[in-house]
Amino acid sequence: MDFLPASVALYAYSAAACAFLIFMLQLLLGAGQSARARLLAWTMGAGAAWCGGQAVFAWAPGRLAWALAHAADALHALLFMTFMLACVVDPVGRQRVRVLLLRAPWLFKAGLSGALLSSLAYALCAWLLPGNRDMLVWFTGAGLALSLLGIMMTEQFYRNTPREWRWGVKPMALGLAFTLMFDLFFFAESLMFRELDSNLWSVRGLLHAIAIPLFAASSARIREWSIRINVSREAVFHTSALLMVGAALLIIALAGYYVRFFGGAWGQALQTVVLASGALGLLASIASGSVRARLRVFVNKHFFSLRYDYRAEWLKLADTLYRASSVPMLREAAIRVMADLVESPGGMLWLRNDRGQYAPAARLNLPELVAEEPADSPLVALLLGRMWVVNLEEYRARPGAYGNLRLPQWVSLIPDAWLITPLGSEDMPLGFVVLCRPRAVMDLNWEVRDLLKTAGRQVAGVLNQTQAMEALIEAKKFEAFSKMSAFVVHDLKNLIAQLSLLLRNAEKHRDNPEFQQDMLETIEHAVGRMNSMLLQLRSGTQPIEQAAPVALSPLLERLHRTRSRAAVPLQLEVEDGLVIRAHEDRIERVVGHLVQNALDATPQSGKVSIRARRNAGDVVVEVEDSGCGMTEEFIRERLFKPFQSTKANGMGIGAYESFRYIQDLGGRIEVKSEPGRGSLFRLVFPQQTADHAVT
């Protein structure tokens, strides 16, 4: 058999034998009590024996290997026809073979009888062919008859399958039609040219194995066949695409072969042109979104009972929405989610603006459009009030289907506008999406409409949550600004009180040089603090500069000097070398606030003390007075809360600001007080070394 190749055939038939064997094992392991699954498994086993025999023949040519391989090929075809007969007559698999033969339709009986005779002739001629080349005509004729009978049986198999089972057997019928049409072409060409085509023979087993995923898809759909696998839509889509690419490559190769065969002197050049043109057309088809969309629609329509794999669609929807890192990207992702459901290339998102009108908020593969749709228009009432999906093509064909709806002018300005689908629900209307005409023709049935409305609710929920987050962030900014403004106003009030006291004393001590110097220092310090507050108001609530070591002695002495002119006596006791890490102006403001409160709460007969000392590695600053004091309930529930004060003109900000700032520094505030006996505020700071002090 030197006219048959061995290089490609060995690997191709070996791979095909492995594929048949794996599928047979899956069927046997999942078959259980199903006779149909076992019969299909043995059919795959015969296919594995055929491809294995051909691989052995390609590796070591011999008459026995050739004859056994084609006997297994005939058995494979015969078992497949028997399987189809069994599925039509007894899908559940409860009847014996003898009963099936009696109950089978006459066309099936005739086809199976013809297949049996053709199989015997095919196997016999294969045995005689190596020694008698004249048997090639009978061999190819028997193979051609077997292929024709197989095609006829496949057509009857699908036609006679109960309607509720047809969606399950579609993939198998398609796979059988593909392999049998290839066999028909192979044997017809061999019979015509009186010679087996070595190239087609070498890949015949591999092309049969390509259809196995389609057989697996049918087995997964029909529970009685009991294969425990789940074939996803993506797997069927890619398998179908691969099958179509393989078929296209086969057609291109055959066209090139025949062009070269009949082209004479121009044959090789014409073959190159045909192959290059076919390859270019195939690449263009693979890259085309329209081709992929048509293939996806074809797979969903002919391979599955429902058009969508809802689990995959929902995961893709969530992944697309939550990968968006900004509001504009999220709005564009919302359009893409809705468009992908109907194979649309683009669309436009409409949301409600500040004026209460609906306007374009994002677009995908569409030009910019300036338009508005009133919130009380008939279109909005139909979309967001009744949650209808408006099909513009249906509206143009049958306007009455949408009542008295009149489309607005902006619809005609959107190229290829096709669908207007609502976002949200009756309780939460958010907007709508205008989608362009799809790449492939789609039937807009109830399933597509329901999925669009359900996806619209999910998209609206995400967009609404984003809008709520934006409003919350804006409210937080206003809250922070209001809080900062309250702190600034409080500090300004204290500065005004300090300057007012200075003016009152100026009448008495205007000629005192020491008072004049003290007044200049106080005014300079007040101006510096007001400038610092303005800078802080521009930049935020946090200080501009970083915390630094601050020496307490000069700071407390300056406070004592500015506050000692009050009517209440003020005492100061400070250890030398005390250093804390803080902001000098803010810590002076905190201690000054406590001193001023103590002075305000203490009668002229009382006293106020400022003390600073080391204590177990910490620095402690105490402000003690003998004033009116506070109740334990007030200290626990109101003292450090904002806008809580015992003073008639107090704002309740100083204690809250002091408490938060001391906490930010890593310190703490301790309070002891009794009504009528005074109060003690203790500030505890981590100590810094005196070498780094700011003097």
Model confidence at 288, pLDDT cuts 50, 70, 90, reads low
Among 4-18, 279-293, 388-402, which stretch is predicted with the lowest mean pLDDT? Answer: 279-293
Question: How does pLDDT run across 307-337, given as a tens digit for each residue?
Answer: 566 677 777 878 888 888 888 888 899 899 8
Measured CA to CA, the distance from residue 297 to residue 514 in angstroms comes to 95
Q: How confident is the model at residue 360 (pLDDT cuts 50, 70, 90)?
A: very high
User: pLDDT over 70 for what percent of the chain?
Assistant: 71
Enter the CATH code of domain 545-692.
3.30.565.10
Confidence check: pLDDT of 498 > 80: no
> What ranges do the domains of the chain cover?
7-212, 232-305, 310-472, 545-692
Q: Worst-scoring range by mean pLDDT, 41-50, 202-211, 374-383, 442-451?
A: 442-451
Could you write out the DSSP letters of every residue in 380-428?
Answer: HIIIIIS-PPEEHHHHHH-GGGGTT----GGGGGSTTEEEEEEEE-SSS
pLDDT reading at 162 higher than 80: no
pLDDT of residue 681: 92
CA angle 197, 203, 208 (to 5 degrees): 120
User: How many CA atoms lie within 13 Å of 315's alpha carbon, on the beta-carbon side?
Assistant: 5
**Tens-digit pLDDT profile for residues 630-644:** 888 888 777 877 666
Fold agreement between 310-472 and 545-692: no
Query: For residue range 555-609, what is the model confidence (pLDDT) as tens digits?
Result: 888 888 877 766 788 889 998 888 888 888 788 888 888 888 888 888 888 899 9
Q: Mean pLDDT score of the chain, rounded to an integer?
A: 76
Predicted local confidence at residue 256, as pLDDT: 60
Q: Both ends of the chain: CA-CA distance in Å?
A: 107
Task: Give the per-residue pLDDT at 269.
Answer: 58
Predicted local distance difference test score (pLDDT) of residue 349? 93
Closest CA to 461 of 487, 425, 493: 425
Which residue carries 């803010």 as its tokens?
586
- Categorize the per-residue pLDDT at 218 as very low, low, confident or very high, splitting at 50, 70 and 90: confident
Distance CA 91, CA 635 (A): 84
| pTM of the shown model | 0.39
Decide: helix, strand or coil at residue 251: helix
The predicted structure's pLDDT at residue 610: 92
Given a cut of 70, is residue 287 above it in pLDDT?
no
| Segment 422-435 mean pLDDT | 83
Neighbours of 686 (CB within 10 A): 12
SS3 672: strand
pLDDT band, residue 622 (cuts 50/70/90): very high
- Using the predicted structure, report yes or no on whether residue 530 has a pLDDT greater than 50: yes
Contact partners, residue 457, CB within 8 Å, separation at least 6:
423, 424, 425
The CATH architecture to which 310-472 belongs is 2-Layer Sandwich (3.30)
Residue 160: strand, helix, or coil: helix
Distance CA(256)–CA(275), nearest Å, equals 6
Q: Which of 589, 674, 588, 594 is nearest to 628 (CA)?
A: 674
Give the CB-side neighbour count of residue 431, counting CA atoms within 13 A.
27
- pLDDT of 433: 93
For 378-393, write each residue's pLDDT tens digit: 888 888 777 888 888 8
